[in-house]
Structure 1
Amino acid sequence: MTNRLQQIDDRLLRMNLWLTQGIVLILSAACSLFLFGWTHTVAMFAWPGWFELLAALGIAALLVLANLGMDRWLPRHWQDDGGINERIFARMSLWSIFLLCLSVGIGEEWLFRGVLQTYIGNGWASLLFALIHVRYLRKPLLAGGVYVTSFAIGSIFEWSHHLIGPIVAHTTIDFFLALYLRWTVNKREREEEQNGDEGGKQEESS
């Protein structure tokens, strides 16, 4: 699966991701309206109180810091996804990254929290969420991290029964981790460019 993804052009990879999220949004809306009807679906998107929003942002901040800590202190090969996320986000503008993360947050939380978790509970919904991230399954740390993240976000929905909090948490996590990936790639490229320039100057001087 990862090998096939690596053969896809970066632009096509991003287009596929946008298409996938569009399908998820349509599927979420269809399932929600069919199972719960219009009134209950709209009620799930009711604006929460400030405490719920702050709790969602707090959980998101803890999970972002945990991810940054793992990237800093744990072996790189434990977290290698084949560079797919770097290819997706490294060349995107900040606005495009935000829109993509927001669409992912809305679609996935609507489907996995609003629809699935309502019927099968947080544990099973989080397990399914981890399983759909197929390219992470060979990396126990990545798969476990996805499950824990999903379960933590699912706890917000379990407590509030509203989707805004989970969507805010999911979007925040994805957005800041995407910015971190973008910064990491740009920093690495600048360092490689500087090293190349220094190597060229040394050759000229010799």
Structure 2
Amino acid sequence: MNEQPHWMQVLVMSLGELAFVIPGIPLYMLLVLPNHPAGALPGLVPAIGVDADPALAVAAAAGAVVLGLAVVYALFRLGGLERFMVDEIRILVDEFSVLDFIPIYIAAGIGEEFLFRVALVEPLGIVVPALLFAAIHIAYWRKPLILVYVFVFGLLMGALYLYTESFLLCAAAHALYNFLLSCFMKWGIIPID
């Protein structure tokens, strides 16, 4: 990939994903907090939204992960989606270990879900944040089918956030989805070549 030590590549990728929290904090403070009582931290406390049954919320998150993986698997198997795969994903899957995926995808879940769900879903609904979520995945701009899938995944995560009001659950579901998808690609369950 480049001349940096491997651990530094993992660290840089993880920090890059966490960087989404930086614009998320002022947006959260400006767009979300003013609409709630003083001291309330919607989306952050409690860990599972007050209106969602915890068991159903976890089941919804697991369902979102399974549905996302099933759709990608079906697209690859039925439609030859591998021709739409981008080099960045091939490099990640080829050059990083399964253990390397863990900090990268935990960071992605935290950073992306804080910005695109916690800070933006309440004031903007789920469509605009899902469009922005798809837009930041610039590696896919030349691959419209994958970009549409990323948008739909953003809608799915937005719906999960609306149902659960849980940053923690959405971040965990996002991280688990990314981790499992990369593992399935690495192990050849979902072909990328």
Q: Same fold (TM over 0.5)?
A: yes
Q: Deviations over 1:19-55 (max 9, x none)?
A: 3113223333454356528943375242221210111
With structure 2 as the length reference, what TM-score do the two structures score?
Answer: 0.79
Query: In structure 2, what is the Cα distance between the partners aligned to 1:188 and 1:77?
Result: 5
Q: How big is each residue's C-alpha offset from its partner over 1:47-70, in whole Å with a ceiling of 9 and x where there is no partner?
A: 221210111111110111111111
Aligned to 1:147: 151
| Aligned partner of 1:54 among 59, 62, 83 | 59
Q: How does 1:75-114 map to 2 (within 5 A)?
A: 75-76=80-81, 78-81=83-86, 83-114=87-118
* Structure with greater helix percent: 1
Structure 1 range deviating more: 83-92 or 136-145: 83-92
Contact 1:98 1:175 in 2 (8 A): yes
The CA deviation at 1:127 is: 0.4
Structure label with greater radius of gyration = 1
Instruction: In structure 2, give the amino acid aligned to 1:85.
Output: I
User: How far off is 1:15 after superposition?
Assistant: 4.9
Distance in 2 separating the partners of 1:188 and 1:150? 22
Q: Which runs of 4+ in 1 moved over 6 A?
A: none
Q: Post-superposition shift, 1:100?
A: 1.4
Percentage of pairs with the same residue: 21
Give the CA deviation at 1:16. 4.2
Deviations 1:84-104 (A, max 9, x none): 122123333333312211110
SS of aligned partner of 2:57: helix
Task: Kindly indicate whether residue 10 of structure 2 is the aligned counterpart of residue 17 of structure 1.
Answer: no
Would you say the 8 A contact 2:75–2:81 is kept in 1? no
**Deviations along 1:75-123, whole A, 9 cap, x unmatched?**
3465221x21221233333333122111101111011000011211100
Farther-moved stretch of structure 1 (68-77 vs 54-63): 68-77
